[in-house]
Structure 1
Amino acid sequence: MTLCLGCLSVLVALALSVYVLQKLCFPYFWRDLLFLQKVVRYGVKLEVFKLTSSVRTVLDRFLQQVQRIPDKPFVIYDGNVHTYRDIDRRSNRLANVFLEKANLRKGDCVALLMNNEPDFLCVWFGLAKVGCSVAFLNTNIKSKSLLHCFNSCGAKTLIVGSDLVEDLDGILNSLLSDNIQVWAMRSWTKHTEVHSLLDKLESASEKPVPAALHAATSLKTPTLYIFTSGTTGLPKAAVISHLQSLKAAAGFWAFGATEDDVIYVTLPLYHSAASLIGVGGTIELGATLVLKKKFSASQFWNDCRKHDVTIFQYIGELCRYLCNQTKTELDKVHKVRMGVGNGLHQDVWQEFQSRFGKIKMCEVYGSTEGNLCFMNHIGKIGSVGRSNFFYRLLFKYDLVKYDIVKDEPVKDQYGFCRRVDKGEMGLLLSKVSAISPFFGYAGSKELTEKKLMRNVFVKGDAYFNTGDLMAEDHEGFIFFRDRVGDTFRWKGENVATTEVTEILGLVDFIQEVNVYGVQVPGHEGRGGMASIIVRPGFIFDGKKLFEHVVRDLPGYARPLFIRLQEVMETTSTFKQQKFHLVQSGFNPSKVSDPLYVLDYKQKSYIPLTDTIYQSISAGEHKL
């Protein structure tokens, strides 16, 4: 008896020791294991699709949901409710029109130029039912860029939204001369060469088109073309296969979303976040999507309360815009429990949760065309994702040393890349393999090859170059540091714009900030400059800012110049633009906005006059 009690005591002590050791050394073990189990389970399902050639696409999943929950609200838009059956029937009508009137055939590529509205989904699904691949066009691009998009994806048909027809006036003749047929979501058009869709829709059949038209036999088959932002050049058509679509559609589910969730999407549907994760994820769950034509900070929380939203999507500066709204007593009165997106800065993350409640923010890292994805399922503030031993077994990625000055990876004596140490910033590379293929860009083998790095660690290997400088801490959390080209070098040190941005964002009078490097005559590297929007009700305080940067930033990272702006230039997905700011520099005779310069003698940021500028250019003013 005593022996048994002794053994039991030893076992209890051992179990307790293991528990304490796990908590201290592996605090995220069980959450990592459960999350990875979901990822692996979904991955196995995709592998079965490959082996059996019985591919079930996002469209197939939608049709399953139509059979399972036909009367459940699928899309709520502008106060109107559209059920799964409603969207299915309208997309059937469109599919029949595309077959009979537009003469579209399986394998054709069709360009779609529409703003956020239910018919975007109906046209998308209608084209998919016919077996067409769809190219989502950015509604902000014009003339030359728009024509380039057609050339790169090979589309010979354009479907345009009723409110965007006039935007084609400058290029319509070019489209028609290239034998591109144009269809508008209108009952009639003033252009004789532009076909109308809505009048033909009324008499079209609601019967499904033959399933063989959209049957897929390979996960690698392209289903969409989504154009990446062309901030300094023309947009590139990223090839989106069924495999990528299915992976993205599992995002909400992996984070713990269910069919009972109501998901709010304000991002443009031509963007991969809204279409692949937002719409695809809603379909995967069988949930409800609240769709907004455009993001509105003033209407955001009212919409969430009105529709009982539980999950919302964000990107870039969207959460900052919400934090900049006037505080109200209703800030925490809502049912939102989760936000899914990317680009959330640490300072905004903290402020957002403090003000609007403990909403779980789930960061997702990954580019539209990329072959790697990180997901911060733990919710650690500031991290874009998480990795561990098991994740590395499945997805091969590496952080390699990068020379900021030469703008290239550091190589060893044999010409191979060198891995960074834990916590050290490096260029993120993802190995191209059967599990993580890279499908590249449509219409340009050169652009596709440009994103690949070969012979990275051994002869013959190939890695996707993300162009992102990242760091991984000792716990396996991944942190975004900067884009290659955004990080600059000053006084022999590397300056990461993201880190400087977060420090400046803590100043009370600063509402928004964009940090970049500018060329300074007579100096190596680039000097730091920050474009700032002053918070309403505050004024710019050069002394306070000086004290803040001197206290919290090393000398080389302190912005030398400040530019005050009323509006920050961003992309359509709320990502800050740096290109034009860098080009403008800090010359007060060329920049109309107020400019300030760091002055250690006066211990303040003082107005940058023409005299001071000339002094800096002549090397007389010490920086």
Structure 2
Amino acid sequence: MFVVSLLLGGLILCPLILSAFFPYFWTDLVYHTKLLGILLKFVSRRRRRPLFLALDRFLEQVETRPNKTFIVFENKRYSFKDTDKESNRIANALRVASVVNPGDTAALFLLNEPAFIFCWLALAKLGCACALLNSSIRARSLVASFSCCRGAKVLIASEELQGAVEEVYEDLQQEGLTTVFITSEELRSSRVKSLTRAAQESSDAAVPQTLRANVSFTSPAVYIYTSGTTGLPKAAVINQTRLLAGLSVLASNGVTHTDVIYVTLPLYHTASFFMGLLGSIETESAKELCVYAKALSRWWKGENVATTEVSEILLMLDSIEAANVYGVKVSGHGGRVGMAALKLTDGMEFAGSATYEHVKNLLPAYARPRFIRIQDELDVTGTFKQVKGQLVKEGFDPNLIQNKLFFLDESKQTFVPMTEEIYSSIIKGHMRL
């Protein structure tokens, strides 16, 4: 009887003692129990036959919660069923056009819009991988990103990005491009096709599962690109196993079907794709897509900038002999703001308007240098590497720098001479960069 009483007393006292000395014990226990359940679910899915992929989880949700809101974009809402049908139309349109086969890779050059999700699902249903191109890249970066796509022949672009594709169309063809689809009925060129029109004319019937019969857990699912801080963008291959594991990202943080995920990052980003898309598929939560603002504060922050690429683009101008691109701190701005030290070609002057038009046409807004410093010579190390430290330290203060300084003035569409008045306005936050 004594032993029984002792055990009962222990059962009563233990929780109280744990709560007193380890106040988060029970919270941690519940959380880790949940994590264990998520892990066991992943292991169970990995053992299912036929293979259970991230796409199959989406199709499960279509069956169990067809009318549950899945995407919110501006004034439109798409349920799981709506999304399934839209992706079927795109998949069937691509099949009719005979432009992709199971195992192929297609490139998505899309903004944050429902078409991004529709196209990814459509290609997954066809047994194809997707290369998620950064929608801000232009010129050589766009060509280089496409060339990483392992034999991709198809590129799907947003209506707003037609111009960027047209600029390098011939270069993309040399990399194997055969077909460009635009997510719009309005086309600017006869060299591209309307995916919107093709989808509208196609069936929303389910795509045969046999098309993805040869997909394995090691098969490439998506290509997500590095920001290219030391050069041009490079593709990281995400296979089907990692995509399946990515389903649990939001579930492990307590997100449920009653939540709405506000997706402010572009979907081509790893965090956005895994948390904003895959995570909401698993948890049945809705996602509200935000059109991604190209803020300058992304310099070395949310969006890394390839300084070597910016330099190369500046060097395309005949008036510039050498360029050293770096970032400087500006009070009130996250990350750094772009600046370039330039050595001009002998006998030539800095052309503010021409330089502005050049960087505007070839660089996304966040990558354009806001400040220009003209030097007689650019400092280099003994191994001919450009010296940036002192330039970064001196910044763009006309009181400290004897060289000519220029500021990118969006309102005047040119680089204007830096004055103490402009400098003061920037420092005080009165002038928006």
Deviations 1:476-519 (A, max 9, x none): xxxxxxxxxxxxxxxxxxxxxxxxxxxx9xxxx9645659xxxx
Report the counterpart of residue 163 of structure 1 in structure 2: 160
Q: How many residues align?
A: 327
Amino acid paired to 2:114 = P
Contact 1:53/1:217 (8 A) holds in 2: no
Query: Residue 257 of structure 2: SS of its match in structure 1?
Result: coil
- RMSD of aligned alpha carbons: 3.5
Contact 1:150/1:156 (8 A) holds in 2: no
Report the counterpart of residue 9 of structure 2 in structure 1: 12
Cα distance between partner residues in 2 of 1:118 and 1:240: 22
Amino acid paired to 2:396 = D
1:594 aligns with 2:388: no
1:267 aligns with 2:265: yes
Cα distance between partner residues in 1 of 2:214 and 2:333: 46
Return the offset for 1:214: 2.9
The structure, 1 or 2, with the larger RCO (C-alpha pairs under 8 Å, 6+ apart) is 2
Return the offset for 1:117: 0.6
Deviations 1:303-345 (A, max 9, x none): xxxxxxxxxxxxx978xxxxxxxxxxxxxxxxxxxxxxxx9xx
Amino acid paired to 1:74 = F
Deviations 1:260-314 (A, max 9, x none): 11111111011111112111111111121111112599xxxxxxxxxxxxxxxxx
Report the counterpart of residue 406 of structure 1 in structure 2: none
Shift of the 218–169 alpha-carbon distance from structure 1 to 2, 3 Å rule, reads closer
Aligned positions of 1:242-253 closer than 5 A:
242-253=240-251
Shift of the 121–587 alpha-carbon distance from structure 1 to 2, 3 Å rule, reads closer
Query: Residue 234 of structure 1: SS of its match in structure 2?
Result: coil
Report the counterpart of residue 207 of structure 2 in structure 1: 209
Shift of the 585–200 alpha-carbon distance from structure 1 to 2, 3 Å rule, reads same
Cα distance between partner residues in 1 of 2:137 and 2:401: 37
Report the counterpart of residue 92 of structure 1 in structure 2: 88
Amino acid paired to 2:210 = A
Query: Residue 108 of structure 2: SS of its match in structure 1?
Result: strand
Report the counterpart of residue 138 of structure 1 in structure 2: 134
TM-score by length of 1: 0.47
Amino acid paired to 2:192 = V
1:128 aligns with 2:124: yes
Cα distance between partner residues in 2 of 1:59 and 1:511: 43
Return the offset for 1:198: 2.0
Amino acid paired to 2:175 = D
Amino acid paired to 1:269 = L
Report the counterpart of residue 405 of structure 2 in structure 1: none
| Identity value in percent | 33
Query: Residue 169 of structure 1: SS of its match in structure 2?
Result: helix
Cα distance between partner residues in 1 of 2:127 and 2:63: 21
Return the offset for 1:192: 2.4
Range that drifts further, 241-250 or 184-193 = 184-193
Amino acid paired to 1:236 = K
Deviations 1:101-121 (A, max 9, x none): 143111000000000011111
Report the counterpart of residue 31 of structure 2 in structure 1: 35
Query: Residue 236 of structure 2: SS of its match in structure 1?
Result: strand
Contact 2:103/2:215 (8 A) holds in 1: no
Cα distance between partner residues in 1 of 2:290 and 2:236: 25
Return the offset for 1:222: 1.6
Give the number of the structure whose residues are more often strand, by fraction: 1
Cα distance between partner residues in 2 of 1:85 and 1:14: 50
Aligned positions of 1:530-569 closer than 5 A:
none
Report the counterpart of residue 74 of structure 1 in structure 2: 70
Aligned positions of 1:347-496 closer than 5 A:
none
Report the counterpart of residue 358 of structure 2 in structure 1: none
Cα distance between partner residues in 2 of 1:274 and 1:206: 27
Query: Residue 185 of structure 2: SS of its match in structure 1?
Result: coil
Amino acid paired to 2:238 = I
Cα distance between partner residues in 1 of 2:69 and 2:48: 33
Query: Residue 267 of structure 2: SS of its match in structure 1?
Result: coil
Cα distance between partner residues in 2 of 1:199 and 1:513: 42
Give the number of the structure whose residues are more often helix, by fraction: 2
Amino acid paired to 2:32 = L
Cα distance between partner residues in 2 of 1:583 and 1:55: 53
Return the offset for 1:134: 0.4
Cα distance between partner residues in 1 of 2:76 and 2:15: 55
Cα distance between partner residues in 2 of 1:185 and 1:10: 69
Cα distance between partner residues in 2 of 1:81 and 1:116: 15
Return the offset for 1:608: 5.1
Deviations 1:339-366 (A, max 9, x none): xxxx9xxxxxxxxxxxxxxxxxxxxxxx
Cα distance between partner residues in 2 of 1:21 and 1:287: 35
Shift of the 592–39 alpha-carbon distance from structure 1 to 2, 3 Å rule, reads closer
Return the offset for 1:202: 2.1
Shift of the 587–71 alpha-carbon distance from structure 1 to 2, 3 Å rule, reads closer
Deviations 1:562-599 (A, max 9, x none): xxxxxxx978xxxxxxxxxx9643359x956238xxxx
Return the offset for 1:71: 1.8
Report the counterpart of residue 255 of structure 1 in structure 2: 253
